[in-house]
């Protein structure tokens, strides 16, 4: 199966910096926002009621200190971070093969929506034919967004194996080059450009507004940690590569529903989990790690830890972002925040490692490609439905959210 670039770039911060220079004309410098309410919530112990029925029931709740800085990739072109990796991969492909050759054969990928739209936009920018393989269960708005960029959409089943089978057919017929949604160094490096921006933006914010930092007016590191959603692992890997040896810890967050936390379970078991079939509401995270992303995500020198959250955790975090930050996000985007607010293992780790001072944490909002109709369905779900009963989440975290949001 044809893949982008015969040569493999080094996975280094310098490579990420070079990628950033290459794609700057084609991406937005997305804002970094803060929110006092969410930082206070993150630094407030969960109630006994919120922990009832969870694996942490009966334990003393963690009491970490955190200030949060949100990298809003939902304001990126096509509404998600994926344009970073797509533009970097396409520009490197043009460098290697020449524009005329790439225009003759085209590019192909498989994606549930955000990478699909990103590659379609990058291809259209350079008048390159784009073939996009999308699962039939993809969000209708993401299918429409991909088609609006002029891409040819081919439908498939929802598993990675089913997607890849259709991709192989397209390549055989057209000679198109595969630009993977996450599992390639050029894609990973492109996604990592957000970490460079985030680091610089937080430094600037803290320099002008010291009260935004856990350190206040005292001199301290601007950014202590970054947490990103993890599906195929391209974004998490890219951030980890960009921040390697900077002293900034990188964490990944996943949905636990129906085994969606494959990266966490795989790292724990010491072997990559190759197949994931979950209908989590975090639809952008329904894919397993690839060979390349596994190498980075499973290496503790790059990724300091992986954590998972329930469907109810995701809903509660999404509600807070919509109502308190007035920020339009998709469910996948808030799994990092959900981890910060509701995963006691993560919270206890921060309490222990950050000590009395606490941490400044960068939280990546990966995208905002959803619709009012989809959001309405998520929040209209009847409490106690089968999915929530399977998670064992009903009535656990909602109480804490209601308690802290009131007033």
Q: What is the pLDDT of residues 316-352, one digit of tens each?
A: 999 999 999 999 999 999 999 999 999 999 999 999 9
Give the list of residues 6+ apart from residue 220 with CB closer than 8 angstroms, or none.
Answer: 213, 214, 357
| Region 132-143 average pLDDT | 85
Interacting residues of 358 by C-beta distance below 8 A, sequence separation 6+: 43, 64, 65, 66, 67, 214, 350
Task: pLDDT band for 388, please (50, 70, 90 cuts).
Answer: very low
Cβ within 8 Å of residue 89, ≥6 positions away: 4, 5, 122, 179, 184, 186, 187, 190
Residues 270-324 pLDDT 10s: 999 998 989 999 988 988 999 999 999 999 999 999 999 999 999 999 999 999 9
Examine the pLDDT at 403 and tell me if it is beyond 80.
no
Q: What is the mean pLDDT of residues 161-182?
A: 93
Retrieve residue 260's tokens.
């969606």
pLDDT band at 111 (very low <50, low <70, confident <90, very high): confident
Give the per-residue pLDDT at 201. 98
List every span in the chain annotated with CATH 3.40.50.1100: 13-79+187-405, 82-184
CA count, 13 A, side-chain hemisphere, 190 = 30
Please give the model's pTM, rounded to 2 decimal places.
0.89
Mean pLDDT of 252-267: 96
Which CATH number is correct for 82-184, 3.40.50.1100, 3.40.50.10320, 3.30.70.20, 3.40.190.10? 3.40.50.1100
What share of the chain in percent tops pLDDT 90? 78
Enzyme catalytic residues: 82, 112
Q: How confident is the model at residue 221 (pLDDT cuts 50, 70, 90)?
A: confident
**Tell me, what's the pLDDT at 395?**
34
When the pLDDT of each residue in the chain is averaged and rounded to a whole number, the result is 90
Q: List the one residue out of 145, 148, 183 whose CA is nearest residue 164.
A: 183
Tokens of 75: 């304001």
Q: Is 181 within 8 Å of 232 (Cβ atoms)?
A: yes
Q: Return the higher-pLDDT residue of 260 and 160.
A: 260
- Collect all residues with Cβ–Cβ distance below 8 Å to 65 and sequence separation of at least 6: 43, 214, 351, 354, 356, 357, 358, 359
Confidence band for 9, pLDDT divided at 50, 70 and 90: confident
How far apart CA 388 and CA 392 sit, in angstroms, is 6
Q: What is the pLDDT of residues 69-102, one digit of tens each?
A: 999 999 999 999 999 999 999 999 999 999 999 9
Band of residue 7 on the pLDDT scale cut at 50, 70, 90 = low
* pLDDT tens readout for residues 17-74: 999 999 999 999 999 999 999 999 999 999 999 999 999 999 999 999 999 999 999 9
Asked whether the predicted pLDDT for residue 157 surpasses 80, the reply is yes
Q: What is the mean pLDDT of residues 208-231?
A: 92
pLDDT at residue 374 greater than cutoff 50: yes
Correct CATH for 13-79+187-405 of 3.30.565.10, 1.20.1560.10, 3.40.50.300, 3.40.50.1100 = 3.40.50.1100
- pLDDT for the residue 1: 42
Give the pLDDT of residue 108: 96
Predicted confidence at residue 4, as pLDDT, reads 58
């Amino acid at each position: 199966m044809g893949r982008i670039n015969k040569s493999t770039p080094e996975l280094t911060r310098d490579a990420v910096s070079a990628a950033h220079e290459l794609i700057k004309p084609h991406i937005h410098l997305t804002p970094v926002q803060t929110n006092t309410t969410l930082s206070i919530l993150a630094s407030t112990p969960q109630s006994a009621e919120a922990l009832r029925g969870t694996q942490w029931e009966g334990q003393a709740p963690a009491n970490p200190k955190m200030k949060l800085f949100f990298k809003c990739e939902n304001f990126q072109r096509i509404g998600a971070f994926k344009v970073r990796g797509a533009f970097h991969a396409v520009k490197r492909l043009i460098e290697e093969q020449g524009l005329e050759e790439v225009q003759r054969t085209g590019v192909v990928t498989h994606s549930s929506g955000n990478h699909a739209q990103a590659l379609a936009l990058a291809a259209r920018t350079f008048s390159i034919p784009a073939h996009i393989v999308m699962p039939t269960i993809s969000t209708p708005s993401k299918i429409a967004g991909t088609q609006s960029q002029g891409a040819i959409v081919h439908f498939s089943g929802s598993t990675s194996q089913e997607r890849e089978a259709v991709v192989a057919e397209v390549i055989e017929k057209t000679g198109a080059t595969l630009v993977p949604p996450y599992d390639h160094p050029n894609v990973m490096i492109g996604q990592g450009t957000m970490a460079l921006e985030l680091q610089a933006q937080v430094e600037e914010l803290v320099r002008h507004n010291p009260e935004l930092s856990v350190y206040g007016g005292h001199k301290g590191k601007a950014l202590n940690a970054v947490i990103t959603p993890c599906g195929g692992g391209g974004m998490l890997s890219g951030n980890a590569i960009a921040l390697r040896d900077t002293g900034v810890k990188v964490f990944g967050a996943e949905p636990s529903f129906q085994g969606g936390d494959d990266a966490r379970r795989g790292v724990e078991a010491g072997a990559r989990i190759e197949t994931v079939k979950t209908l989590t509401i975090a639809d952008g995270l329904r894919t397993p790690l690839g060979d390349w992303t596994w190498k980075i995500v499973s290496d503790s020198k790059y990724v300091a830890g992986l954590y998972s959250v329930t469907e109810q955790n995701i809903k509660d975090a999404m509600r807070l972002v919509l109502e308190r930050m007035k920020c339009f996000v998709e469910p996948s985007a808030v799994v990092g925040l959900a981890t910060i607010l509701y995963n006691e293992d993560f919270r206890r780790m921060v309490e222990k490692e950050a000590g009395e001072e606490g941490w400044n944490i960068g939280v990546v909002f990966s995208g905002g490609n959803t619709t009012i109709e989809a959001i309405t369905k998520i929040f209209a779900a009847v409490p106690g439905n089968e999915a929530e009963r399977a998670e064992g989440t009903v009535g656990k975290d909602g109480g804490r959210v209601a308690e802290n949001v009131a007033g």
